[in-house]
Amino acid sequence: MLDPSIMQPQMLGDPAFDWCGVAAVARGAPLVLPPVARARIVNARAIVDQLVLLGERVYGINTGLGALCETVLPPEQLVRLSSNTLQSHACGIGEPLGVDLTRAVLCAALQNFALGRSGISPAVFDQLLAWLNRGLTPVVPSRGSVGYLSHMAHMALPLIGLGEAWVEGARLPAAAALACVDLEPVALGAKDGLALVNGTPCMTGLMCMALDTAWRLARWADVLGAMSFEALGGQLAAFGEDVLVSKPHPGLMASGDNLRRLLAGGDWLAQRQGLRTQDALSLRCMPQIHGATRDQLMHIARQVDIELSSSTDNPQVFGTPDAYTVVSQGHPHGQSMAMAADLLAIAAAELASVSERRIDRLVNPLVSGLPPFLVQASGVNSGLMIAQYTAASMVAENKVLAHPMVVDNFVTSALQEDHLSLGTPAALKALQVLERVETVLAIEYVVAAQALSFLPGEQLAAGTGRALRFLRRVVPPYVEDRVVATDIAAATALLRDPRGLEDIEEAIGTLR
């Protein structure tokens, strides 16, 4: 996690607060609640308190939950209902979410509360905000939600001294973790339990992190595709601005612009122009393929930003304590985020699919014009033969993982909840796809760099030369066989290092 002291504070409830802000908080940026947002929280809580005082029947405030929504509870049981909600809904299984993912979910929840429709207690909100800013992260099992309930319940358990939390890398019982950051359990009030487990912050926070990863990999896909293109002596005419403008999809135009700048100034590549009529689709169509992914990511980003600016729990309160309305509605349904997650999985998977095709061309002497499997003494050495196998395996796994989750359905809570989005598992599945995309791109990085090592001594293009030097810091050229997995892991780490793209952009300008 980056040092929060060098990261810009993010403002809850700000119209400019978007998926990038959530990702920044997930990496360690501080989170601030402006006075106007605090006033909204206090006002909404006053409405809830008024409802409890008057004894009006309102779902989740003085009734049971789900199919128990017609069961009215006496005032003395409302606090217990909140505590029981967290415990009964904490049914998660599996390995915990990463700290960054959990912080993103918590950040999205705080944004939802800051919009002033939930009615959560200010003391509960303040504790959650303190967790983020003091480095306490709940331990949240990664599996078990059809929408969000189990994940959010585990997220909130430390509020009442239950569950576990991470503090400075140590996994501790909740009470010990709270003590480490000078906090104590808080008393939940009416509706607090429901507010904590309700709404779409889980899938929205996860989607913010998926977008952050996907955009990073989309930029790297252009960089690594350019390296492969140069090594194979591709024909630059297909990337001309005057050519691409005849099919002006925004993503296509952005990718084409990146490729032109990445490949500018390459002497050897310049000498290869005109030697072929056209290249294979995996080379010639990079702007069209990479660009289509970019267009989907732009659409997904709009969906996620709308969700972040929305109140998504149920019920919601409106007005003031003297003139209020409480409405049970369907905003917690995660259909938009589930569809966005499924689309992201498909769009990202294609980056790996076309990357694997370029890897295959690089190692295949029948089409590359390079030594077989990119090693001089082939035969006794297998070179990078099996690296392409690994890439193919990742692409095959993505074909299964990219199957839509949202089109499935189940019935829960005794027919009360009879259409489920599966948004959280869809977002987690998209993150699995992105892991495999990253692996395939790391393999292309290693393979394309090895291919470039066989070119004559003429100058490489500006952007690809920078990318090659960045890799050569940790992965030397292959002279004879060695353990390739070590180099794939090293290349993967470089794809996650922001200094790589920054170094390339220093030479060619900002990658779009």
Question: Which tokens sit at 121?
Answer: 């207690």
* Length, in residues, of the chain: 512
Question: Which tokens sit at 226?
Answer: 């350019």
Pick from 70, 154, 85: which is nearest to 328 by CA?
A: 70
- Domain 4-198 and domain 208-310+348-508 have a common topology: no
What would the pLDDT profile of 480-507 be if each residue is shown by its tens digit? 999 999 999 999 999 999 999 999 999 9
How far apart, in whole angstroms, are the C-alpha atoms of residue 383 and residue 379?
A: 9
Among 13-17, 357-361, 466-470, the least confident range: 13-17
- Which residues are known to be catalytic? 59
374 has a pLDDT exceeding 80 = yes
Q: Is CATH 1.10.275.10 correct for 4-198?
A: yes
pTM, rounded to two decimals: 0.94
pLDDT band at 140 (very low <50, low <70, confident <90, very high): very high
pLDDT band at 510 (very low <50, low <70, confident <90, very high): very high
Average pLDDT over residues 462-467: 95
Average pLDDT over residues 339-367: 97
pLDDT band at 65 (very low <50, low <70, confident <90, very high): low
Residues 131 and 106 sit within 8 Å (Cβ to Cβ): yes
171 has a pLDDT exceeding 60 = yes
Average pLDDT over residues 58-75: 69
Domain boundary assignment for the chain = 4-198, 208-310+348-508
Look over the chain and give the mean of its residue pLDDT values, rounded to a whole number: 92
Average pLDDT over residues 208-226: 98
pLDDT > 70 fraction of the chain, expressed in percent and rounded: 95
Helix (H) or strand (E) holding 164: strand 164-167
How far apart, in whole angstroms, are the C-alpha atoms of residue 183 and residue 176?
A: 10
Q: What is the DSSP string of 441-508?
A: HHHHHHHHHHHHTTS-SSPPPHHHHHHHHHHHTT-PPPSS---HHHHHHHHHHHHH-HHHHHHHHHHH
Instruction: State the amino acid at position 455 in one-letter form.
Output: L
Q: Within the chain, what is the greatest distance between any pair of CA atoms?
A: 85
What would the pLDDT profile of 173-200 be if each residue is shown by its tens digit? 999 999 999 999 999 999 999 999 999 9
422 has a pLDDT exceeding 50 = yes
Highest mean pLDDT among 191-205, 365-379, 399-413: 191-205
pLDDT confidence of residue 284 = 97
Average pLDDT over residues 249-262: 98
pLDDT confidence of residue 1 = 39
How far apart, in whole angstroms, are the C-alpha atoms of residue 405 and residue 408?
A: 6
Average pLDDT over residues 318-324: 93
> The dihedral of CA 463, 465, 471, 474: what is its sign?
negative
pLDDT confidence of residue 2 = 44
pLDDT confidence of residue 378 = 81
Within 10 angstroms of residue 327's Cβ, the number of other Cβ atoms is 13
pLDDT > 90 fraction of the chain, expressed in percent and rounded: 79
What would the pLDDT profile of 81-137 be if each residue is shown by its tens digit? 889 999 999 999 999 999 999 999 999 999 999 999 999 999 999 999 999 999 999
Question: Which tokens sit at 504?
Answer: 């390339």
pLDDT confidence of residue 413 = 64
Within 10 angstroms of residue 360's Cβ, the number of other Cβ atoms is 16
Among 9-23, 52-66, 270-284, 388-402, the least confident range: 52-66
pLDDT band at 5 (very low <50, low <70, confident <90, very high): very low
pLDDT confidence of residue 68 = 61
Average pLDDT over residues 273-300: 96
The CATH homologous superfamily for domain 208-310+348-508 is Fumarase/aspartase (Central domain) (1.20.200.10)
What would the pLDDT profile of 298-312 be if each residue is shown by its tens digit? 999 999 999 999 999
pLDDT confidence of residue 414 = 65
